Amino acid sequence: MDMDDHRICFVGDSFVHGTCDSQCRGWPGRVTADAQRHGFNVTHYNLGVRRDTSREIAARWHLECAIRLPENVKRYVVFSLGVNDVAYEGDIRRVSEEDSIKNFRAIISQASSLYQIAVIGPPPVADEVSNRHINHLSTLFESTAQQSYIPYLPVFDALLADPVWMSQVQGNDGSHPGAEGYDALARLIVAWPSWWFRHA
């Protein structure tokens, strides 16, 4: 194994993709750039897909990561999901709470047997009702991750209190921030004690 070659997949939804980021980097590009500044040789793959729920992510993540993470390197996967699960199409929630937890548990159980993994919790949006559901699901995800000893970073409260994140979300499409909002989320991640690439 080449201990100096780090490969990381970021798997999730539009927040992972970096939707509305004028710099087209999202938070994965920012945290990878920070890792490189700290002396790590990191190759990152952004596997964020807009509108993906836990159901779609559970169906695709394994193949997408397997073709990008060869066995002769240090392999990492970061998941971030949940906002689309609690969205409604008409009167129907896209993914029930029970199925969200089932999908999440299956994802982290399989992934942790193959790679070093971590989870970034879902962020707030501009809608108060949606935020109650997002925050609740994040709490359930965190509890599920803790039961499996998987590092989980809840970001909901910090970003809800962040004037840049919230003002940009409200000024864009009601869900996604601009570049400075993604900067704020990236700062939370690189300051997280469980983050792998804090210093060389």
Which residues form the domain of 63?
Answer: 2-190
Q: What is the pLDDT of residues 12-63, one digit of tens each?
A: 999 999 999 999 999 999 999 999 999 999 999 999 999 999 999 999 999 9
Where are any strands of DSSP class E within 35-169? 42-48, 73-80, 88-89, 92-93, 116-120, 152-153
Report residue 180: phi and psi, to 5°.
Answer: -70, -30
In angstroms, the Cα distances linking 169 to 1, 94, 96, 173 are 42, 22, 25, 6
Q: Is residue 19 part of a domain?
A: yes
Whether residue 177 lies inside any domain: the answer is yes
Does residue 196 form part of some domain? no
Domain count, the chain: 1
- Find the CATH number of the domain harbouring 34: 3.40.50.1110
Residue with tokens 């047997």: 113
Contacts of 76 (CB under 8 A, 6+ apart): 6, 7, 8, 9, 115, 116, 117, 118, 196
User: What's the chain's average pLDDT?
Assistant: 97
Tell how far CA 111 is from the center of its chain: 14
pLDDT tens sequence across 158-197? 999 999 999 999 999 999 999 999 999 999 999 999 999 9
- Asked, for residue 115, whether it belongs to a domain, the answer is yes
pTM of the model: 0.97
What kind and span of H or E run contains 17?
helix 14-17
Q: What is the pLDDT of residues 118-145, one digit of tens each?
A: 999 999 999 999 999 999 999 999 999 9
How high is the pLDDT of residue 199?
67
Are the C-beta atoms of 137 and 82 separated by less than 8 Å? yes
If DSSP codes are grouped into helix, strand and coil, which group holds residue 58?
helix
- Lookup result for tokens 């919230």: 166
Report if residue 76 sits inside a domain: yes
